[in-house]
């Protein structure tokens, strides 16, 4: 009987790579740099990279204005971040966090290209908000060193990170990611590897039900959001929140729930599908359940 292959010891995590410079990736880069990590932010879109670096700088400036940060710390954090368009620049990272769009095939394609360059003892974490970690890990050469690290949006403000182990994730990988989470100033919560984990398993069906309420004419956009803000004390109405998350992301999570759990209660609302097909994806394109092109958001229905 052959002995199982020994995994290389985990290195000390000093450099974190972030793949994807969108809203989540830029936020992850910002908090990692503030925590003292060297950060390599990679995206194949130069305009997206430039926008991300600008957004990080503005976020740090905002923290200075609030008295949470001084200029020395701001400069040091910005100096720790390197922007790049090439995955090969992640070759020396001990941890790489994938923060690409919520699409399983896109993520797997990134992992395939990343593995060519990654050091053999590095950890890969996915910021997926719904896709099973075991399935993503199986597309890599290191399921034992693969884990889910689901940050909440907006990353600098939200304190939670869901930590999700795949079936093969080793204990030392899990403990290392919990330690990183705490150094980032976040609170780790362990979630089992079920579709959408904890937060989105609860949150997205509520949003989907709000869209059904709109679809069926029970209330209009304004009345639904006002009812939930004042009647349930939610800081943001569910349709406004959907626009903030991105309707394409909401739909992707509902599709994962519907397909993964085979329960009709998770069927995405046809109106949500229609908005996504129309390209009305929420705040990021200035139109969703609200139109954001004027001075004040205006309901679109």
Active site members: 129, 150, 162, 200
Phi, psi (degrees; rounded to nearest 5) at 287: -155, 130
Rounded to the nearest 10 degrees, what angle do helices 46-65 and 23-34 cross at?
Answer: 50
Asked if 135 and 164 count as a contact pair (C-beta separation under 8 A), the reply is: no
Instruction: Give the whole-angstrom CA distance, residue 54 versus residue 227.
Output: 36
Q: Which residues pair with 148 in a beta bridge?
A: 126, 164
Instruction: Give the whole-angstrom CA distance, residue 186 versus residue 203.
Output: 20
Instruction: Give the whole-angstrom CA distance, residue 86 versus residue 136.
Output: 22
DSSP-derived secondary structure for 164-224: EE-TT--HHHHHHHHHHHHHTT-EEEEE-SSTTTTHHHHHHHHHHHHHHHHHTTSS-HHHH
Tokens at residue 182, please?
């705490």
Beta strand segments in the chain, E: 15-19, 38-42, 81-84, 95-98, 123-126, 146-151, 160-165, 187-191, 290-291, 298-299
Tokens at residue 126, please?
């996915």
């Amino acid at each position: 009987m052959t002995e199982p292959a020994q995994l290389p010891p985990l290195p000390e995590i000093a450099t974190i790579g972030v793949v994807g410079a969108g809203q989540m990736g830029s936020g992850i880069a910002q908090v990692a740099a503030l925590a003292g990590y060297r950060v390599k932010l990679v995206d194949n879109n130069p305009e997206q990279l430039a926008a991300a670096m600008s957004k990080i700088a503005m976020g740090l400036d905002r923290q200075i204005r609030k008295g949470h940060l001084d200029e020395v710390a701001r400069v040091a954090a910005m100096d720790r971040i390197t922007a790049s368009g090439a995955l090969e620049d992640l070759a020396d990272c001990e941890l790489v966090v994938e923060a690409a769009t919520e699409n399983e095939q896109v993520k797997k394609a990134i992992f395939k290209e990343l593995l060519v360059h990654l050091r053999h003892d590095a950890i890969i974490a996915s910021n997926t908000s719904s896709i099973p970690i075991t399935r993503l890990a199986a597309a890599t050469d290191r399921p034992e060193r693969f884990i889910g690290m689901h940050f909440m949006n907006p990353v600098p403000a939200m304190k939670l990170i869901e930590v999700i182990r795949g079936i093969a994730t080793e204990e030392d990988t899990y403990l290392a990611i919990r330690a990183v989470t705490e150094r980032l100033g976040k609170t780790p919560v362990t979630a089992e590897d079920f579709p959408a984990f904890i937060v989105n398993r609860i949150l997205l069906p509520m949003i989907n039900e709000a869209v059904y309420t709109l679809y069926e004419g029970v209330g209009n956009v304004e009345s639904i959001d006002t009812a939930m803000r004042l009647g349930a004390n939610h800081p943001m109405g569910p349709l406004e929140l959907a626009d903030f998350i991105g309707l394409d992301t909401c739909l992707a999570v509902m599709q994962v729930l519907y397909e993964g759990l085979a329960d009709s209660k998770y069927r995405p609302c046809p109106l949500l599908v229609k908005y996504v097909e129309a390209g009305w994806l929420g705040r990021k394109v200035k139109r969703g359940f609200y139109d954001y092109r004027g001075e004040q958001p205006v309901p679109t229905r």
